[in-house]
Amino acid sequence: MNRSIADILLDLNAVALRSDPPFRWASGRHSPIYCDNRLIMSDPVGRKAVARAFVSQMRAQGWAPEVIAGTATAGIPHAAWVADEMSLPMVYVRGAAKGHGKGNQVEGKLQTGQRVVLIEDLISTGGSSLQAAEGLVAEGAQLLGVLAIFTYGLAVATEKFAAAGIPCVALTDFRALMDVAQARGHLSAEEAAVIATWQEDPSAWSVAHGGGA
């Protein structure tokens, strides 16, 4: 995992810890940690580093996309910067088809059979990312995989991507982020204990704190 990306997130104060009340994720789960990757947009140096890390990761995976796609909304700017870095076309994908106009789920020019990599800001349970991925496939894309800045590393997400047969790679993950945070003295003993309890069973922690499983 790319620890320099974890450093960028910590430098931007993108990682927030709070257990009372906990954070509510889009999936309905509750968590004591929230990673706000949108802050990278405001950091010219950080966003360039992320774009270049995405390009390096694609090369490492042997992916040669013809189009870069971004998830709406947080993946869109990163997809734009990656597409610019690679001089490739870009599209973006909604979680569901638009309810008016042309009713598009995929916006931009995408031809049947084109090789596509989908850029996401983070992976929690994987549901929204897979909806976007399935939208691309439905439009005829040859989806090479999903690239994310950060993943919480939850088993439920790993299982969902495996079941869908879609590769998913992140630049950094929860464990790397916590290792760097502890090394830099960003975690108190109390915070580390809460995080450790959550990490043992995120689903049970969520339910115990009023969230979904």
54-87 burial: b if 16+ Cβ within 10 Å, else e: bbebbeeeebebbbbbbbeebbbbbbbbbbeebe
For the segment 17-60, what is each residue's pLDDT rounded down to a tens digit?
888 899 999 889 999 999 999 999 999 999 999 999 999 999 99
Distance CA 11, CA 9 (A): 6
When mean pLDDT is compared across 14-18, 99-103, 125-129, 183-187, the lowest value belongs to 99-103
For residue 156, give the amino acid letter.
V
Q: Can you give the pLDDT at residue 62?
A: 98
Task: Count Cβ atoms within 10 A of the Cβ of residue 3 and give its class: 0-12 exposed, 13-18 middle, 19 or more buried.
Answer: middle
Q: Work out how many domains the chain is built from and give that number.
A: 1
pLDDT higher than threshold 90 for residue 102: no
**Would you say residue 213 lies in a domain?**
no
3-state secondary structure of 13: coil
For the segment 61-71, what is each residue's pLDDT rounded down to a tens digit?
999 999 999 99
For residue 2, give the amino acid letter.
N
Q: Can you give the pLDDT at residue 17?
A: 87
Q: What global pTM score does this model have? A: 0.94
CATH at 97:
3.40.50.2020
Q: Which residues are 123's β-sheet partners?
A: 151
Measure the CA dihedral 109/88/75/174, to 10°: 140
Q: Are 170 and 192 in contact (CB under 8 A)?
A: no
> For the chain, how many helices (H) and strands (E)?
8, 10
Q: Are 207 and 31 in contact (CB under 8 A)?
A: no
Q: Which domain holds residue 59?
A: 3-208
**Would you say residue 77 lies in a domain?**
yes
